[in-house]
Amino acid sequence: MRFVLELRIGTAQDADDAVAVWRAAQGARGRRPNGARVARVLDKLSAPGALLVVAELEDADAVAQVVGFALGEPGRVGTGAGAGHGRGDPNRDGDGCSNSNSDRDRNGDRDRDGDGELEPGLLHLSMLFVLPAHQRRGVGSALLEGIADAAWSPGYRRLQVWTRADNTDARGLYEACGLELSGREQDLDGPAVQYVAELEPPVRDLLIRSDGLRLGQLLKLAGLVETGAQGKELLAAGLVQVDGEVELRRGRQLTDGEVVTARDQSVRLVLPDPDADHADPDHADPDRANEDHDHADRANEDHDHPDHTHQDR
């Protein structure tokens, strides 16, 4: 039987399904959450600034079930805890990703978790749970990558999470997804460690009908610039990367799978299968798309337009 896993941004209507996943995960570990703890989880899911990503598994009959979720919160200064509610955090006793409202850090000073100012650009991963029947199937890693992608648009550029030092499953997941130990430790009813990561722009695919594409063409087709002149300026300033390397050549011929990054966006070029039908209307035609811009581009290359402004996407 075929199953399809999809990620999407969660809404208030997903709260009950998320709690059901959380309760099932707790039950599999021999825990019986009481009503007060369930209410705290619901409170976190609906808190201002909460970023919820849910994983849905759709079977062959198109019946979808929420099988996991990840919750992020605005991070705070100090040890970087989320915007939680002090010692009432539902994960304090090791139920998952901790809000890290602990007693003292390893230097013996009281931390400011839950009380410090919000730290701009920092996302605290508060919870990540998967139904027991669907664990060890890649759902957790998909959720972690999904929330990292979803965090970019609201302005988050860094991610952090605390976990118990003896939670080998969680640590293995974080390390497999590229998070690194920060060196910080705390006591969360046992030794806990902090993992951190610098976030990157989510990559979107650009499918075209051509056998190839030049870099300048991609910048316009993907909406990264409006005109060829803007693309030329962006390239000259060293603000365009191809597969992580600065590229200055507008005429650089791109190949299938190369990722172009500019203006805080990343686009992967996807060329058609040689055996596929090139008449697919969902694929972009770079030649047709550029016909309307060629004349303006030639004019813009010869003249400066100090009164022209471009609004970043």
Indicate the residue type of 44.
Answer: K
Q: Are residues 36 and 175 in the same domain?
A: yes
**Taking a C-beta distance cutoff of 8 angstroms, is the pair 35, 81 a contact?**
no
**Taking a C-beta distance cutoff of 8 angstroms, is the pair 101, 81 a contact?**
yes
Q: Tell me whether residue 313 is in a domain.
A: no
Q: Which domain range does residue 43 map to?
A: 4-198
Residue 81 confidence class, pLDDT cut points 50, 70, 90: low
- Tokens representing 48 are 């201002």
Which residue in 162, 175, 178 sits closest to 106, CA to CA? 162
Residue 116: left (phi > 0), alpha (psi -120 to 50), or beta? beta
250-259 residue pLDDT tens: 999 998 999 9
Q: What pLDDT is attached to residue 109?
A: 35
113-132 residue pLDDT tens: 445 788 999 999 999 999 99
Q: What pLDDT is attached to residue 88?
A: 35
d(CA 164, CA 98): 8
Q: How many domains does the chain have?
A: 2
Q: Tell me whether residue 307 is in a domain.
A: no
3-13 residue pLDDT tens: 678 889 998 89
CATH number for the domain including 32?
Answer: 3.40.630.30
Whether this prediction's pTM lies above 0.85 is answered by no
d(CA 206, CA 186): 44
d(CA 266, CA 205): 9
Virtual CA dihedral for 91, 108, 184, 33, nearest 10 degrees?
Answer: -10
